[in-house]
Amino acid sequence: MDLAQLMEACNQYAKPAGFRPAYGTAGFRAEASLLHSTVFRCGLLMAARALKTGAATGLVVTASHNPVTDNGVKLVEPTGYMLDQSWEAWADKLADAEDAEALCAIIRDLYQKEDIPYGSGVVMLAHDTRPSAEELIKAAGSGVKALGGLPIVCGLLTTPQLHWMVRHCNNSLKHTESCYYEEIATGFSHLVHSCKAKRQVLTVDCANGVGAEKLKALAERLSGKLDVTLRSTGEGGLNDGCGADYVQKERRFPAGMEDCQNGARCASLDGDADRLVYFQRLPGGQLQLLDGDRIAVLAALLIRDILDRLSHDAASPSVGIVQTAYANGASSQYIREQLRLETAVTATGVKHLHAAAERFDIGIYFEANGHGTVLFRPALIERLHKLGDSQEAAKDLLALLGMVNQAVGDALSGILLVEAALRRRQWGLNDWAQLYTDLPSRQLKVKVKDRSVVTTADAETRAVTPEGLQSRINESVRGAPSGRAFVRPSGTEDVVRVYAEAQTQQAADKLAQQVARHVHELAAGIGAAP
Ligand SMILES: CC(=O)N[C@H]1[C@@H](OP(=O)(O)O)O[C@H](CO)[C@@H](O)[C@@H]1O
Ligand SMILES: [Mg+2]
């Protein structure tokens, strides 16, 4: 490490006065113009992480479903997973260092405490469609180089594509963008090759983001096996009145799809294409959402259908579903009582779900907002390869393994998962929707002076502070039939989130509003009470 060179580079990316970045649910996010120093420092961090692990790491410049004026950075482990939680504290310290001198001191401390070998770490860089990406990617590259590392500029990609590439690169597998399409498309083609179901056109709201270009490339690779019509491909603002987060939270048709036909099969991606939700218009005109909970259930059914045909000497592979407190209560009940599968509930954020899913041979994890995937345990993969020569079911599971991104939730591979599962059962959206009926729910956001005053326990289902908040929530919940509610500080926006569900929409709305008022009152809410 050349300290003089490092110092000079740090000086070029000064932190804006008063800016206090913090590593949140999925990395750093803020208004784009504030982020140059943060992204530079993440370049430093990931170059050091590459040296520590002796493998390539990754960094994606994206603010996902947030407005186009925001940006952010997601950090990728050599496994393709999100940055190991044990290093989040280093990310925070680096990002928050006041000046170049403080920053260099933290780097020295990092090298010493983590026993980082000297050398040149490889960091793969990608970005979404935000106009601020170009400058921020430069900052990331400068950070990597300032530690003597090698930035590999991969350009415009979906977040899950970069995660996939880092994982494949470190497994010495082909890892170009076209190999990504090839691998997931090959798995899909295998799974649907003998399906008799009539193909349905899927209309996809691409949130005016990177997913538009990449889904087009995937559909071309599948030449006719996947019929997609793309909307919001860049003609409007990124995530502006469209995208998976808008559809899931607002329960409204996205821009450009207000006129979709009753029963037409529709889906939405988010701005960096790591979330996917399906929806349709019901005969009464309302939007019916098929969210991440439902994708998890459909994936479980597909896996069960295949496992039923697998004969094996050893114990049957364990299958489990991981959710968060945002999962609709009806989905959790269906998983427990009808599917009879093990479930686990973790705190919000894929990093938590992913870790819990690794405890099963086949671990399915999805956040209600449509971010999730299906993980296969390495020992099971080995067994399947042995069985694969003689058994069609093992071949199917291996095809599923190739089709589903093993690194992180991926909306493009998610579309293939849903379409393959529906086609193999000869199902339409109604069959899928009829598995269970969602309890009505409502999500609200409350602006407060300092959202860190709200702390939680028990996978975020219980508010620990401010004092008295949880007992007030309990009281409100008691007044709502089949009521459930919780609050937590967002890790991506400056708000406290409120979730409520109940027997009727009216009761869920009322419960959410009451809880939002408790938050506003006890956690120093800003502006008028909800
Ligand atoms: C309620 C909700 O949807 N929260 C989202 C959102 O996190 P918050 O910490 O709630 O802002 O963004 C995360 C990253 O995309 C995602 O993992 C998470 O599920
Ligand atoms: Mg996203």
CATH number of domain containing 220: 3.40.120.10
Which residues fall in the annotated binding site for substrate? 367-369, 488-492, 497
- From CA 139, how far away is CA 89, in angstroms rounded? 21
Confidence at residue 383, expressed as pLDDT on a 0 to 100 scale = 92
Taking residues 194-198, report their average pLDDT.
Answer: 81
Q: Residue 217 falls within a domain, yes or no? A: yes
User: Three-state SS for 439?
Assistant: coil
Report residue 285 as tokens. Answer: 């005109």
Residues 238 and 302 occupy one common structural domain:
no
Residues 33 and 132 occupy one common structural domain:
yes
Any atom of ligand 1 within 6 Å of the Cβ of 497: yes
The β-bridge relationship of strands 372-376 and 362-366 is: antiparallel
Residues 25 and 102 occupy one common structural domain:
yes
Q: Which domain holds residue 266?
A: 183-288
Residues 261 and 300 occupy one common structural domain:
no
pLDDT higher than 80, residue 197:
no
Which residues fall in the annotated binding site? 64, 270, 272, 274, 367-369, 488-492, 497
Nearest protein CA to atom 12 of ligand 1, as residue: 492
Residues 256 and 127 occupy one common structural domain:
no
Any atom of ligand 1 within 6 Å of the Cβ of 490: yes
Taking residues 15-26, report their average pLDDT.
Answer: 93
pLDDT confidence band for 283 (50 / 70 / 90): very high
Is 311 a catalytic site residue?
A: no
Domain boundary among 406, 433, 460: 433
pLDDT higher than 80, residue 75:
yes
Catalytic pick among 64, 132, 142, 441:
64
Domain boundary among 156, 174, 204: 156
Taking residues 86-91, report their average pLDDT.
Answer: 97
Sequence length of the chain is 530
Residue 428 parent element (H or E): none
pLDDT more than 70, % of the chain: 100
Domain boundary among 119, 140, 156: 156
Taking residues 79-94, report their average pLDDT.
Answer: 97
Residues 344 and 408 occupy one common structural domain:
yes
Q: Residue 110 falls within a domain, yes or no? A: yes
User: Three-state SS for 87?
Assistant: helix
Residues 425 and 445 occupy one common structural domain:
no
CATH of the domain at 474: 3.30.310.50
Report residue 443 as tokens. Answer: 């999500």
Q: What is the ipTM of this complex?
A: 0.98
Do 133 and 162 form a contact (C-beta atoms < 8 A)?
A: no
Return the closest-CA partner of residue 226 out of 34, 412, 461, 378: 412
Report residue 324 as tokens. Answer: 């968060």
Residues 303 and 394 occupy one common structural domain:
yes
Residues 383 and 321 occupy one common structural domain:
yes
Confidence at residue 95, expressed as pLDDT on a 0 to 100 scale = 97
Residues 359 and 406 occupy one common structural domain:
yes
Ligand closest to Cα of 245 equals 1
CA 499 to ligand 1: nearest atom: 1
Nearest protein CA to atom 10 of ligand 1, as residue: 490
Confidence at residue 103, expressed as pLDDT on a 0 to 100 scale = 95
pLDDT confidence band for 472 (50 / 70 / 90): very high
- From CA 494, how far away is CA 208, in angstroms rounded? 24
Residues 320 and 450 occupy one common structural domain:
no
Confidence at residue 165, expressed as pLDDT on a 0 to 100 scale = 98
- Bridge partners, residue 29, by sequence: 72
pLDDT higher than 90, residue 110:
yes
Q: In 10 A of CB 283, how many CB atoms?
A: 7
- Which amino acid belongs to residue 476? S
How far apart are the CA of 122 and the centre of ligand 2, in A? 24
Return the closest-CA partner of residue 168 out of 275, 55, 59: 55
* pLDDT tens digits along 488-503: 999 888 899 999 999 9
pLDDT confidence band for 199 (50 / 70 / 90): confident
- From CA 486, how far away is CA 331, in angstroms rounded? 17
The verdict on whether omega for the bond into residue 317 sits within 30 degrees of 0, i.e. cis, is: no
Do 280 and 286 form a contact (C-beta atoms < 8 A)?
A: no
Q: Which residues contact 424 (CB under 8 A, 6 or more apart)?
A: 191, 192, 195, 197, 302, 305
Q: Residue 173 falls within a domain, yes or no? A: no
The β-bridge relationship of strands 455-457 and 462-465 is: antiparallel
Any atom of ligand 1 within 6 Å of the Cβ of 326: yes
- From CA 374, how far away is CA 299, in angstroms rounded? 8
Confidence at residue 224, expressed as pLDDT on a 0 to 100 scale = 82
Q: Residue 162 falls within a domain, yes or no? A: no
Which range has the worst mean pLDDT, 102-111, 224-233, 370-379, 382-391? 382-391
How far apart are the CA of 420 and the centre of ligand 1, in A? 27
Q: Residue 409 falls within a domain, yes or no? A: yes
Q: Residue 345 falls within a domain, yes or no? A: yes
Residues 296 and 202 occupy one common structural domain:
no
Ligand closest to Cα of 210 equals 2
pLDDT higher than 90, residue 5:
no
pLDDT higher than 90, residue 4:
no
Do 367 and 322 form a contact (C-beta atoms < 8 A)?
A: no
* pLDDT tens digits along 333-363: 999 999 999 999 999 999 999 999 999 999 9
Q: Residue 166 falls within a domain, yes or no? A: no
pLDDT more than 90, % of the chain: 92
Confidence at residue 389, expressed as pLDDT on a 0 to 100 scale = 76
Counting the structural domains of the chain, the total is: 4
Q: Residue 271 falls within a domain, yes or no? A: yes
Q: In 10 A of CB 119, how many CB atoms?
A: 13
Radius of gyration of the chain (CA): 23
Confidence at residue 259, expressed as pLDDT on a 0 to 100 scale = 87
pLDDT higher than 90, residue 153:
yes
Confidence at residue 196, expressed as pLDDT on a 0 to 100 scale = 82
The full DSSP string for 194-241 is T--SPP--EEEE-TTSTHHHHHHHHHHHTTTSS-EEEE-SSSS-TTSS
Confidence at residue 140, expressed as pLDDT on a 0 to 100 scale = 98
Taking residues 220-234, report their average pLDDT.
Answer: 94
Confidence at residue 387, expressed as pLDDT on a 0 to 100 scale = 87
- From CA 325, how far away is CA 441, in angstroms rounded? 12
CA 64 to ligand 1: nearest atom: 15
- Bridge partners, residue 60, by sequence: 74, 126
User: Three-state SS for 418?
Assistant: helix
